[in-house]
Chain A
Amino acid sequence: MRTLVPLFALFIAGGVLAQESKVQLRDGPGKDKAMQCVACHSVDYIQMNSRFMDKAGWTASINKMIKAFGAPIPESDVEPIAAYLAQNYGKPPGN
């Protein structure tokens, strides 16, 4: 997490940052890997896009972050992050 500090420094509005820190991801396997997302955006993007995507949908979103936006997420983390997001923020079973 230490490497993220200069990235946070780019964000000028401190009060907003304090608010952002109150937005928490659900606990569960893979949460640590999903926390890489905060390098570029607040995690409310994840809650906002729930619950209507299945694992394939979340995989497509992660791959867009890597390929289109240059997110430095290792290829080997894509599956565990997608599994975490599908489990905690995915389309409820049967819907």
Chain B
Amino acid sequence: MKPGDNRPRSEARRRLLAGAAGAGALAALDPMRVLAAPVGSMAELGFAELPDGALAEQVLYALPGKVPLIKKTFRPPNFETPVEYFRTAITPNDAFFVRYHLAGIPEVSATAWVLTVGGESAERELKFTLPQLRKELKPAEVTAVCQCSGSRRGLFEPHVPGVEWGVGAMGNAVWRGVRLRDVLAKAGIKGGAVEVVFDGADHGAIDKTPDFVKSLPVEVALDENTLIAFEMNGKPLPHWNGFPARLVVPGWTGTYWVKQLKTVRVVSKPEANFWMSAAYRLPRGRFKTPSFKSQVATANEPITTMVVNSLITSLKAGQQIPRGAPIEVRGIAWDGGSGIARVEVSTDLGASWQEARLGKDLGRFSFREFALSVPTKEAGAKVVMARAISRSGEMQVEQLIHNPAGYHHNVIQRLYVEIV
């Protein structure tokens, strides 16, 4: 449904009901108004709005095996998770966002799948089937956020080209598989290894399009939390999220989490393909995230770990709250792997901050729920803000740190509500 399709009906209904209720109460009660609202509006969450063309074009659409998600583009498929699925710390598999760069996405059968591990800096080349990996290596599990580098790109002011994501190009899941370092230990790593390079089964629509190949520093590949995962929340990975096996790089942005993993190569030189040398780059030194040393260029460097962030999931802009009833501020917070130290809430435009109660700790790479009940006394508008602070002392920013590719948006949300 396009925004506006229901407008005449909605207008008629509004006129019909106008005699019976005040305009304010009507806004909260009229279900047609909700249906007529654009899908995935960011202003509704207290952020800068998406480009008008993006907002007009997006619809809810269910890919096979998925619930209706916010369609950004059909081919390659880019689908965003609606905000209601972030009201719990774990994101359901069928609501998990979908992000592809290339339109050639094969169905990979679990029985035919083979992982090739080698490269010039490996001692030997090995091939693994899924049963071999399960049998020969110890299982490993981690709860971790997978967030697209460009999540919230659509909220940039001024806008920048790319997939105009709102807040939902992310999800949190329990990933289960084997440690990449155990796989690499079988192959053996020679001295002089610089990066580990990953290729998945996806490919471009035409041969000339660079294949989606990503690399990691050797020390990140060898981190105990870096997995080759087969399962997500206790079930096989959905097709759209990398079945039968994908890379899981906790703390690092989604671009490194290669889906439908096919080959792993240990190499002695920095990987130079388009997806490493040109795409996914930040102006050098603009963010305090760790440096991917072998890939640093004069002007720019690759994106690495996520910045600290949070999302209020319990309120919508303009929501009316009866005077005397509390403002229930609930949401999730996350960072690049130090864990969340605290989340603070303000209802006075940042003049004072109150610490929210944190939910269960599911590990330092996971979403962390937060909640605070703020009493109300007088009628009027209130601006609700939440800011997360990580255990490494990083806090969400008040002003956007603009960058040409639209990464790392972690501006503090400002959501106004009306006490009536």
Contact = CB atoms under 8 A, between A and B. Distances in A.
B57 interface: yes
B208 interface: yes
Contact of A15 (B64, B73, B159, B274): B64
Interface in B299-321: none
Interface in A21-52: 23, 39-42, 44-45, 47-52
B75 A42 contact: yes
Interface string A7-22: 1001111011101100
Given A41-B76, A50-B53, A51-B51, A68 B161 contact: no
A93 B51 CA distance: 16
Contacts of B208: 69-72
A10 B104 contact: yes
B95 to A, nearest CB: 17
Q: Size band of the B side of the interface?
A: 35 or more
A23 B159 CA distance: 23
Nearest to B105: A12
The secondary structure that dominates the A interface is: loop
Nearest to B205: A40
Interface in B48-91: 51-54, 56-58, 61, 63-64, 71-77
Given A39-B205, A40-B204, A70-B209, A52 B74 contact: no
Q: Size band of the A side of the interface?
A: 20 to 34
A12 to B, nearest CB: 6
A41 B64 contact: no
Contacts of B274: 68
B56 A40 contact: no
Contacts of B64: 13, 15
B73 A45 contact: yes
A51 B52 contact: yes
Given A10-B104, A39-B205, A70-B209, A50 B52 contact: yes
Contacts of B12: none
A62 to B, nearest CB: 11
A52 B209 contact: no
Interface string B93-107: 000000000011111
Contacts of A45: 73
A12 B76 CA distance: 11
A48 B209 CA distance: 22
Contacts of A23: 57, 74
B21 interface: no
Contacts of B72: 44, 48
Interface string A46-60: 011111110001000
16 contacts: A7-B206, A10-B205, A11-B103, A19-B71, A39-B206, A40-B204, A47-B53, A47-B56, A49-B53, A49-B162, A50-B52, A52-B159, A69-B204, A70-B204, A70-B208, A70-B209
